[in-house]
């Protein structure tokens, strides 16, 4: 009986095994996860779950019983100790398991602060898994002082939850502006105003020099010489793809595990999907850290494991929830040279990224209509004149058929 092993029980791993079984694969499927819980959603962890608005069971992508009912061998709380790509075997908790195909969906690993500046002290957290959020949740009490390091989407989402719960929030971003790596100044300006309006002490072009305290964090020294009293710290300074297993198998790495358009690594019978994998996109190679990418890429691999020979054609989109604002992003803004703003806060507003006359991406804040139209335009290869986007009288829907 053919055996497919999927290592990494997150969104990509779960999507792969479900697609296999629902697609008619009748061989053996094993899904291996390092956490004790069955595959669960990560985006609600730092929002609805942390705020107590979502129960643990609602996080699960499928009920625990689903895997047994669909003859999927779910191994939780274990890690792969070794891989022998030549023999097509892995070792898990001392057990050697043979595979016909191996799918790596190990996701990404959050960057942590160095221990030399206090990163190992009690009260310093990252936001990645259920255990991280469960550990910090008791500290989210009104009046507590939290320092958030990093002004990307993870840091801003954590700040919004903390501020809503009445904590005293200070956020530091060492770059000149928040969201500098991923968004235009217009989007940064929008979220700066949003957070300032909710009482967040937002400090840009200021980094963390070191944390202070005796065992547990109690203070921070910033790069501008400012000192802060803090009760706990949340670190949101990016992630790195989890590539150790693929590297041990001899797979090529390039900003993650390098896969081809079908999801294959450079090692025969080894595939990769999700945050850990980089893949061809137009004339470049990219890696997308998003739920939609994890699902869609993993499902394409499942189809290819069943003989489809289907290329993965990414349609990048992302989202972020902060306070009462839902930001929806379509496309990739890499290489933009101008931004067109449509609308204005506090109403729906969207920021449209162009390179020359070519539409690349849209950031839409509480503007689902703008997001959907922008997404369809980008996917259809259509680029309305920037002046049309800026004109409030433009019939946006008509742009789809122009």
In this prediction, residue 78 carries a pLDDT of 97
Residue 108 bridge partners (DSSP): 241
Residue 100's pLDDT band (cuts 50, 70, 90)? very high
pLDDT, tens digit (0-9, with 9 covering 90-100), for 305-351: 999 999 999 999 999 999 999 999 999 999 999 999 999 999 999 99
- The residue among 142, 112, 71 whose CA lies nearest residue 237 is 112
Torsion sign across C-alpha atoms 196, 152, 61, 24: positive
How far apart CA 373 and CA 158 sit, in angstroms, is 29
Rounded distance between C-alpha atoms, residue 110 and residue 22, angstroms = 32
Locate the domains of the chain by residue range.
3-109+240-305, 112-235, 324-400
The confidence band for 402, taking pLDDT boundaries of 50, 70 and 90, is confident
CATH class of 324-400: alpha beta
Structural class in CATH, domain 112-235: alpha beta
pLDDT confidence of 99, banded at 50, 70, 90? very high
pLDDT at 219 over 90: yes
pLDDT above 70 as % of the chain:
100
Residue 55 pLDDT: 95
Shared fold status for 3-109+240-305 and 112-235: yes
Q: How far is CA 321 from the centre of its chain?
A: 13
| Structure confidence at residue 370 (pLDDT) | 97
245 token code pair = 């297993």
Nearest to 333 by CA among 178, 154, 183: 183
d(CA 370, CA 307): 38
> From residue 286, how far is each of 75, 254, 260, 314 by CA, in Å?
31, 9, 11, 10
What whole-number distance in Å separates Cα of residue 358 and Cα of residue 369?
A: 20
Query: What average pLDDT score do residues 86-100 get?
Result: 96
Over the chain, what is the mean pLDDT?
97
pTM score: 0.96
Domain 3-109+240-305 grouped into CATH 3.40.190.10: no
Convert the pLDDT of each residue in 246-299 to its tens digit.
Answer: 999 999 999 999 999 999 999 999 999 999 999 999 999 999 999 999 999 999
CA distances (Å), 330 to each of 1, 3, 75, 148, 348, in order?
Answer: 42, 37, 36, 27, 16
Band of the pLDDT at 213, cuts 50, 70, 90? very high
8 Å CB contact between 152 and 234:
no
With H, G, I as helix, E, B as strand and everything else as coil, classify residue 314.
coil
In the numeric block, which tokens belong to residue 207?
């980094």
């Amino acid at each position: 009986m053919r055996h497919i092993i999927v290592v990494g029980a997150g969104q990509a791993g779960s999507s792969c095994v479900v697609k296999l079984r629902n697609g008619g694969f009748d061989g053996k499927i094993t899904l291996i996860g390092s956490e004790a819980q069955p595959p669960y959603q990560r985006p609600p962890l730092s929002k609805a779950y942390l705020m107590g608005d979502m129960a643990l069971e609602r996080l699960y992508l499928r009920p625990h019983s689903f895997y047994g009912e669909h003859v999927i061998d779910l191994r939780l709380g274990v890690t792969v100790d070794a891989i022998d790509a030549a023999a097509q075997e892995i070792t898990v908790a001392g057990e050697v398991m043979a595979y016909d195909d191996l799918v790596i969906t190990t996701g990404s690993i959050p960057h942590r602060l160095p221990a030399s500046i206090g990163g190992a002290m009690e009260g310093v957290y990252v936001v990645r898994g259920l255990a991280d959020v469960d550990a910090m949740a008791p500290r989210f009490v009104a009046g507590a002082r939290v320092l958030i390091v990093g002004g990307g989407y993870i840091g801003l989402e954590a700040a919004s939850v903390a501020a809503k719960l009445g904590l005293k929030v200070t956020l530091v971003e060492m770059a000149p502006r928040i969201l500098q790596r991923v968004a235009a100044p217009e989007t940064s300006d929008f979220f700066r105003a949003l957070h300032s309006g909710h009482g967040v002490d937002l400090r840009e072009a200021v980094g963390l020099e070191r944390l202070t305290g005796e065992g547990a964090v109690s203070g921070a020294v910033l790069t501008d010489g400012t000192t802060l009293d803090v009760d706990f710290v949340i670190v949101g300074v990016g992630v790195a793809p989890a590539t150790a297993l693929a590297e041990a198998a001899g797979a090529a790495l390039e900003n993650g595990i390098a896969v081809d358009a079908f999801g294959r690594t450079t090692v025969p019978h080894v595939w990769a999907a999700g945050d850990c994998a980089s893949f061809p996109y137009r004339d470049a190679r990219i890696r997308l850290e998003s739920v939609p990418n994890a699902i869609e890429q993993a499902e394409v691999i499942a189809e290819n494991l069943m003989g489809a020979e289907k290329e993965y054609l990414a349609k990048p989109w992302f989202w972020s929830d902060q306070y009462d604002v839902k930001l929806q992003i379509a496309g990739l803004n890499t290489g933009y040279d101008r931004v067109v703003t449509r609308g204005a806060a506090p109403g729906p507003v969207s920021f449209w990224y162009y390179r020359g006359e070519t539409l690349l991406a849209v950031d839409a804040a509480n503007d689902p209509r703008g997001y959907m139209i922008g997404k369809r335009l980008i996917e259809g290869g259509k680029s309305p004149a920037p002046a049309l986007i800026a004109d409030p009288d433009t019939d946006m829907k008509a742009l789809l058929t122009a």
